[in-house]
Amino acid sequence: MSEPRETIQLPEPVSAGDRSLEELLQQRRSVRDYQDAALPLADISQLLWAAQGITHTSGLRTAPSAGALYPLELYVVAGNVAGLAAGVYHYRADGHRLTRVHGGDQRKPLAQAALAQTWVGDAAAVVVFAAVYDRTTCKYGQRGVRYVHMEVGHAAQNLFLQAEALGLATVVVGAFRDDEVAGVLQLPADVRPLALMPVGRL
């Protein structure tokens, strides 16, 4: 019987900011160069909420999902986050919390799995978007694969705009060896990685 995993309650996200959506859209850019500076846990909390946070008592989230089936699973590879030990964490939208998968700074191994893209290892943290395809294909068949990929785009853009609102930098990385990323994160067999988003200070 496996031991219960450590749970970290995330700071409460905020739902109002002082910059307009139009301004964020105008300024959003893909950035691959980050300062060697820690991110506060509150910023990680806000980014995860923007990507997959629950916004309604019925369980609806910040990003649309075909059939409200929510196949996405988000992981955080933390290396330089104040108040969060280096390691791999699984985001649980229910309760807005993290569960620790395993410890140790996994940014460099993740960068190697991402075809040696050094900025993946340089970021303070990396948000990994993964999915359980069966949650969607069980209803929509093979067409559901397309819906899952559309959903990743919605959620990633939410995170992109939230990063801009926080004065942070990020980029979407799609070039990586799936099995190696799954190994670094110790993903369950039915969870497939789809995108990486390294995040750091400008």
What pLDDT is recorded for position 147? Answer: 98
The CATH number covering residue 164 comes to 3.40.109.10
3 inside domain: no
Q: pLDDT band for position 4 (50/70/90)?
A: low
CA distance 31 to 34: 8
Give the global pTM: 0.96
Percent of the chain exceeding pLDDT 90 equals: 98
- Taking CA atoms, 103 is separated from 23, 48, 57, 59, in Å, by 38, 20, 33, 30
Crossing angle for the helix pair 41-52 and 143-165, nearest 10 degrees?
140
- Of the candidates 162, 161, 154, the residue with the CA atom closest to the CA atom of residue 42: 162
4 inside domain: no
pLDDT in tens, 136-151: 999 999 999 999 999 9
Average pLDDT over residues 47-76: 98
6 inside domain: no
Question: How many other CB atoms are found less than 10 A from the CB of residue 132?
Answer: 18
Give me 68's structure tokens.
């409200």
User: What is the average pLDDT score of the chain?
Assistant: 96
pLDDT in tens, 28-43: 999 999 999 999 999 9
Domain, as residue range, for 142: 18-201
10 inside domain: no
CA quadruple 163, 165, 166, 169: dihedral positive or negative? positive
Counted domains in the chain: 1
CA distance 56 to 24: 24
CA distance 139 to 43: 35
What pLDDT is recorded for position 5? Answer: 80
What pLDDT is recorded for position 1? Answer: 46
Percent of the chain exceeding pLDDT 70 equals: 98
36 inside domain: yes
92 inside domain: yes
Containing H/E element for 170? Answer: strand 168-170
13 inside domain: no
159 inside domain: yes
